[in-house]
Amino acid sequence: MKVLVLGAGQLAQMMYLAAAPLGVEVLAVDVSKNTVVHPLSKQLTDIDLTTAINDANAITVEFEHIPEDLLAQVDLSGKLFPNIASIMAGADRVREKQLLNQHNIANCEHKIIRHVDDLEGICELLGEQIIFKASRDGYDGYGQWRLKDSNQLALLKMEFEKLDLQAVPLIAEKMSHFDREISIVGARDLQGNISCFEIAENLHYQGQLHVSIAPAPNVSLEVQNKAKTIFTQLAQGLDYVGVLAVELFQTGDELLVNEIAPRVHNSGHWTQQGADTSQFEQHIRAVLGFPLGSPKAHSVTAMVNIIGCTSFSRDLIGIEGCHLHWYGKSLRDKRKMGHINVVAENYSELSSKLLNLLSFIPSESFPLLTDEAKRIAEL
């Protein structure tokens, strides 16, 4: 069995590692060159793209920003999972908002900005605290602007006048004052069966995910059911196949959808050590028509992203339950270089392990970890 992944980054790498024990071969496509490469070494293969498409049993994506001509070419094969509509909804915030509204799924109050004139009266509509997001190609805090009060609007207008808002509209969102950010990651298979992992609590810094805790502490049954209902509505509405992630803002027992990701997701990395089946294996199972694995969490897990940092001691793997996942990338500011999964029997033990972890890593590169470890200790 063969799976072809559009994209050749760390998510393709981790799909390859999860697929190998199943006897499944994974190849990746460098979408900037339309070349077929090995997911681990990134070395160019002697297989051309057309042959790789023809030979694959299933084709999937590791990120949603795939050139549309390539998506169209692959879609003709009938092997693309998830489908092209799902991928494009994840790549375009306008389509994403339309999808959420179509299914009556609560999301942040917003307005689409296709011309600077559309900013007229925006503060009266959404309030003075607004986040503007590019509808395409924005992630990890890029392509975003924050309005803290109406006095800043004139400066933002000048900046937006430099953009082609017809080609790439902005989404103006009312700033949500939520209790926390959570996500639900799950899978839907070819037969329509749905299996969700435990909800994760996510901590962001400067627009990037830094830490995920799963299962998220203090999640009421009502919130669990609401999150699973939202996931099911989206997965069924899209006729989705594969792993899907839904990011949510939680206020009390109310949920607003922030974003969807039609792929394996950073906030699901904890499943590699914390669940019976990792999100990567689950995705391979789903797109090939294999039975879905158990999503059961068998421990409490923290996923800690390594961002823009290589100066840490690999002796950290000496901490019981601590697992390093290194991506093999060249160093760049704000670049995800790898992640660390720390598993424990309970939150108190997890707190102790995270505090121990701090002795092996530079604290300035992990700004949320100390406070998070202390907070977990109080649960």
CATH number reported for the structural domain that contains residue 139 in this entry: 3.30.1490.20
Residues 61 and 128 both lie in one domain: no
Q: What is the mean pLDDT of residues 246-260?
A: 97
Q: What pLDDT band is residue 138 in, cutting at 50, 70 and 90?
A: low
Mark which of 121, 139, 174 sits at the end of a domain: 174
* Average pLDDT for 47-76: 97
Same domain, 151 and 196: no
194 and 255, same domain (yes or no):
yes
Give 208-243 pLDDT, tens digit per residue. 999 999 999 999 999 999 999 999 999 999 999 999
**Length reported for the chain:** 379
The CA distance from 374 to 379, in Å, is: 9
Percent of the chain with pLDDT over 90: 93
The mean predicted confidence, pLDDT, of the chain is: 95
Confidence grade of residue 140 (pLDDT, cut at 50, 70, 90): low
In degrees, rounded to 5, the angle at the alpha carbon of residue 195 between the alpha carbons of residues 92 and 240 is 35
* 141 and 185 in a common domain: no
Sign for the CA dihedral angle at 93, 97, 99, 100 comes to: positive
- The reply to whether 291 and 313 lie within a common domain is yes
Q: β-strand 322-326 against 300-307: which pairing, if any? A: unpaired
Banded model confidence at residue 143, pLDDT cuts 50, 70, 90: confident
pLDDT at position 253: 96
Q: What is the pLDDT of residue 104?
A: 94
**Is there a single domain that holds both residue 355 and residue 231?**
yes
pLDDT band at 102 (very low <50, low <70, confident <90, very high): very high
Which of 93-102, 144-153, 164-173, 178-187 is the least confident region? 144-153
Q: Of 188, 231, 181, 189, which is closest to residue 208 (Cα–Cα)?
A: 181
**Alpha helix stretches (DSSP H) within 215-278:** 221-237, 271-274
pLDDT tier, 199 (very low <50, low <70, confident <90, very high otherwise): very high
Q: pLDDT class for 141, splitting at 50, 70, 90?
A: low
The dihedral through the CA atoms of 212, 215, 220, 224 has a sign that is positive
Q: For the chain, what percentages of helix, strand and coil (3-state, to nearest 5) are there? A: 35, 30, 40
Q: What is the pLDDT of residues 20-29, one digit of tens each?
A: 999 999 999 9
The verdict on 119 and 260 lying in the same domain is: no
Average pLDDT over residues 275-304: 98
Pair 353, 227 in one domain = yes
Number of domains in the chain: 3
Mean pLDDT over 167-182 rounds to 94
Q: Is the pLDDT of residue 367 over 90?
A: yes
Residue 98 within any structural domain of the chain: no
Residue 63 forms part of a structural domain: yes
Q: Are 182 and 227 a contacting pair, CB within 8 Å?
A: yes
Provide the residue range defining the domain that includes 348: 180-377
Is residue 141 domain-shared with residue 185, that is, in the same domain? no
- Looking at the chain, list the stretches that DSSP marks H as alpha helix, in order from N- to C-terminal side: 10-19, 49-55, 68-75, 84-91, 93-102, 122-126, 153-160, 221-237, 271-274, 279-288, 347-357, 369-377
Same domain flag for 159 and 185: no
Mean pLDDT of the 165-187 span? 95
Between CA 35 and CA 244 the distance in angstroms is: 26
Indicate whether 139 pLDDT > 70: no
CATH code for position 259? 3.30.470.20
